[in-house]
Amino acid sequence: MPVNHTQAILDGERLALTRALTQVENNSTEGLEILEALFPHTGNAHLIGVTGAPGTGKSTFVNQLALAYRKLEDGTTPPRVAIVAVDPTSPFSGGAILGDRVRMQDLAGDPGIFIRSMASRGSLGGLAAATAGLVQVFDAAGFEIIIIETVGAGQAEVDIARLAHSTIVIEAPGLGDEIQTIKAGILEIADILVVNKSDKPGADNTLRSLRNMLSLAQPNGNQTMHHGEMTEMDPEENQTPNTWIPPVLPSVATTGEGIHDIVNALGAHLEYLKVSGIWQEREEARLQDQLENLIATALRSHWEKRIPEDTYQDTLAQVIKRKVSPWRAAEDLILGAGL
């Protein structure tokens, strides 16, 4: 890639940026060169993941969160905000409808905001394979806040926790009883839990059961049950530099109610990540994850090049006839490729 193109992206030129995002998303040779050239400039942005079930209000919430960051009234220049919104690809046609922008109309016309929609293109786990790459491009382009909105996720789409520094899980009233809250999966990855649509009936119940769930995990957490009465303690008193108790916060994303508390909680979480050294740990884990994924992909494509299609089809036929077990077949095919 020409040096001046890299420079244009670093300078935040929007046309260069958008074209770079496409190359990275398409996993083209140019896209790889772009990532290569930008890599030394990454590692500065606060990556915020927003996940939760379909219809809990993730896009509307992201809209408000971005607005709040752009209107921070602490006298400093507001951070530039990038949004990567992932929606599912149809497993049948390979097409997708990316509709997250519909809820983000308030952000139009602000040059400090850049929204990019992406289709999951067959990835499970709530993100697309290229999401991490897109985030790195935004990071290099100087966006201080990068919000990543996942596919409407069920219980196990937890990839976002590996990518983001701070993960917000959005819940809404009426989505399940207390047993749902102690299952493994999506709630475990939350750094901040938000009960959106908290003006709806049942919101108090949802807030309470999520807080109960957290108090099971953190018996000395932010609240205790005493003789059947809930005693709430100030979460801030219980946060120490080396522990983080995920706060459970209400919001109404359609009006923006509660958003400022959430921005403050994100600020506190960032502070905690830096002071405790966990920021560094997460960066290391993320880069290791990325490296391992790249090796896995490269090994696979190397293997595909070296194993003749006939050999593969013959072995597969043997497996289908139950003459050879899939385990044995896999081993033979890997050895057969000289790996």
Q: Under the criterion CB under 8 A, does residue 297 sit at the interface with another protein? A: yes
Q: Which of residues 298-327 bind another protein (CB under 8 A)?
A: 298, 300-301
Q: List the one residue out of 59, 263, 26, 256 whose CA is nearest residue 151.
A: 59
- The span of 10-18, 41-49, 183-191, 268-276 binding another protein (CB under 8 A) equals 10-18
- CB-based contact 66:104 (threshold 8 Å): yes
Strand partners, 85: 117, 149
Q: Under the criterion CB under 8 A, does residue 108 sit at the interface with another protein? A: yes
Q: How far is the CB of 246 from another protein (least distance, A)?
A: 32
Q: How many CB atoms lie within 10 A of CB 258?
A: 20
Contacting another protein (CB under 8 A), which of 27, 44, 224, 242? Answer: 27
- The span of 44-52, 110-118, 258-266, 316-324 binding another protein (CB under 8 A) equals 110-118
Q: How far is the CB of 154 from another protein (least distance, A)?
A: 22
Q: How far is the CB of 70 from another protein (least distance, A)?
A: 15
Contacting another protein (CB under 8 A), which of 9, 65, 119, 145? Answer: 119
Contacts of 334 (CB under 8 A, 6+ apart): 303
Tokens of 193: 């839990």
Q: How far is the CB of 121 from another protein (least distance, A)?
A: 6
Contacting another protein (CB under 8 A), which of 14, 200, 306, 328? Answer: 14
141 burial (CB, 10 Å; 0-12 / 13-18 / 19+) is: buried
Q: How far is the CB of 312 from another protein (least distance, A)?
A: 17
- The span of 114-122, 140-148, 264-272, 329-337 binding another protein (CB under 8 A) equals 114-122
Contacting another protein (CB under 8 A), which of 216, 225, 275, 294? Answer: 294
- E strand or H helix at 261: helix 259-276
Q: Under the criterion CB under 8 A, does residue 29 sit at the interface with another protein? A: yes
Q: List the one residue out of 109, 192, 179 whose CA is nearest residue 147.
A: 192
Q: Under the criterion CB under 8 A, does residue 151 sit at the interface with another protein? A: no
319 burial (CB, 10 Å; 0-12 / 13-18 / 19+) is: middle
- The span of 22-30, 49-57, 136-144, 263-271 binding another protein (CB under 8 A) equals 22-30
Q: List the one residue out of 51, 67, 55 whose CA is nearest residue 148.
A: 51
Q: What is the largest CA-CA distance in the chain?
A: 72
Q: Could you give the CA distance from residue 191 to residue 246 in angstroms, rounded to a whole number?
A: 5
Q: Could you give the CA distance from residue 318 to residue 336 in angstroms, rounded to a whole number?
A: 16
Handedness of CA 124, 125, 126, 127 (dihedral sign): negative
Residue placing its CB nearer to another protein in the complex, 133 or 173: 133
Token pair 């992932």 in the structure block, residue: 86
- The span of 108-116, 154-162, 229-237, 322-330 binding another protein (CB under 8 A) equals 108-116
Query: Helix (H, G, I), strand (E, B), or coil: what is residue 130?
Result: coil
Q: Could you give the CA distance from residue 194 to residue 210 in angstroms, rounded to a whole number?
A: 10
Residue 98 sits at φ, ψ, to 5 deg, of -105, 105
Contacting another protein (CB under 8 A), which of 114, 143, 244, 272? Answer: 114
Q: How far is the CB of 329 from another protein (least distance, A)?
A: 23
Q: Which of residues 64-93 bind another protein (CB under 8 A)?
A: 89-90, 92-93
Q: Under the criterion CB under 8 A, does residue 105 sit at the interface with another protein? A: yes
Binding site for another protein (CB under 8 A): 14-15, 18-19, 21-22, 25-29, 32, 89-90, 92-99, 101-102, 105, 108-109, 114-117, 119, 121, 129, 294, 297-298, 300-301
